[in-house]
Amino acid sequence: MNCSRFRELLFEYVHGTLPPTERTAMEQHSARCPDCMGQEVRTRQALQALDNLTPPRPFDPDAGLASLRSRIAAEPDRIPWWDRLRPLLWPAVATAAAAAVAVTLLYEPVQTPSPRPDAGVARSSDAEAGKKAAPADDGLDNLVDLVEELPLFEEFELFSQHETLAELAAADDATLDQLLAEVGG
């Protein structure tokens, strides 16, 4: 034990949390080093003074609790975050539903058991021309691309992730409002 190490451990020593081996080493060093012993005495006095620092009057938990209960009762009902997000998520749900209908329509020729008409015949009507212009597989890919490009859908995906939900549940008002503003924007 040297003086530098002694001072490093002085708080723990005076606070009484050093393991026995180190405590003994501290005692031995203090006994033979007047400077470090002086530091030890001053530390004990300072921490004792800190211990003596108490509020002028003790806190009354009964009065405090009554006051707190009034404040809690006056708090506005907090709407859960999922209820606050619901109006913003409806457009995403509607988009997804519309997309599902579109997928069904695009897939209809593939699903029908009748042979696929050739291109010349298909172009005989505008509606069929639209279907043929986007083959089923490409149509699905395009649709996925389209939906994934929607900012709201991206946010919906973001909120669907478990970690994000946990963060949202823990978020304070300011953070939640900021997130909502971003989603809304």
Partner 1 sequence: MDHDEDVKLMLAFQQGDERAFDGLYRKHAPSLARYFWRLTFSTPLSEEMVQETFLKIHRYKASYQPRAGFKTYLYMVARSILLNNWKGVRNARQEDELDGDGVAADDGPLDDVLSRRETLRHVQDALAELPERQASALLLVRSEGMSYEDAARALEMSVPALKSLLNRARNQLIEKVLP
User: What are the residues binding partner 1 (CB under 8 A)?
Assistant: 7-8, 10-12, 15, 17, 39, 42-43, 45-47, 49-59, 61-62, 64-65, 67-68, 71-72, 75, 78, 169-170, 172
User: For partner 1, which is the closer residue by CB, 9 or 99?
Assistant: 9
**Smallest distance, partner 1 to C-beta of residue 48, A:** 9
Rounded CA Rg of the chain = 36
Q: Tokens in use for 131? A: 């279907």
User: For partner 1, which is the closer residue by CB, 72 or 181?
Assistant: 72
**Smallest distance, partner 1 to C-beta of residue 85, A:** 15
Residue 16: which region, alpha, beta or left (left: phi > 0; alpha: psi -120 to 50)?
Answer: left
CA 56 to chain centre: 41
User: For partner 1, which is the closer residue by CB, 75 or 83?
Assistant: 75
Q: Is 6 exposed, middle or buried (0-12, 13-18, 19+ CB in 10 A)?
A: buried
CB atoms within 10 A of CB 107: 15
User: For partner 1, which is the closer residue by CB, 92 or 179?
Assistant: 179
**Smallest distance, partner 1 to C-beta of residue 80, A:** 8
User: For partner 1, which is the closer residue by CB, 59 or 113?
Assistant: 59
**Smallest distance, partner 1 to C-beta of residue 144, A:** 34
Q: Is 136 exposed, middle or buried (0-12, 13-18, 19+ CB in 10 A)?
A: middle
Would you tell me the crossing angle of helices 162-170 and 151-160 to the nearest 10 degrees? 90
**Smallest distance, partner 1 to C-beta of residue 8, A:** 6
